[in-house]
Structure 1
């Protein structure tokens, strides 16, 4: 498992208080919102704030790609990697 993806899974569990879930139970390609993990818009805000704090990147919720970036752990990892490089 990719190190950043594992970090993100742990971050999701901690930030959103999903104590009954283990990082290994979250598939990297699994959808995070509605179906899949079942997160909602409040979870998205909390997760976005934690990602900004931890990785020091700006997340613009007005960006048209934001839903794609937050669709899965794999997409989030790609987004964070590209933001850190750029």
Structure 2
């Protein structure tokens, strides 16, 4: 999972054009949306598209998105096992 976390940090920095953020400086457990990185709802849409394009997974409702994008670690967990965060 560490490799996936590193990959996701790089993709997030690239996709969101976070020019002053080094991928390795993103703590896997820090809050993504509304946190230090300044990620907002428009950025979340970019990340949803990234996950759909690169990993073939759909994030199709706000509740799921809130859980998936809570942190890089939660995003990696979703990619590894999408059923772990689906609503039941």
TM-score by length of 1: 0.86
Count of residue correspondences: 83
Q: Which structure 2 residues correspond to residues 1-86 of structure 1 after superposition, within 5 A?
A: 2-62=2-62, 64-83=63-82
Structural RMSD (CA): 1.7
C-alpha deviations, 1:30-84, integer Å up to 9, x for none? Answer: 001112322000000011101110111111125x332011110000000111129
Indicate if the aligned counterparts of 1:30 and 1:37 stay in contact, CA closer than 8 A.
Answer: no
Indicate if the aligned counterparts of 1:31 and 1:71 stay in contact, CA closer than 8 A.
Answer: yes
67-76 vs 28-37, greater mean Cα deviation: 28-37
Unaligned stretches of 5+ residues in structure 2? 84-88
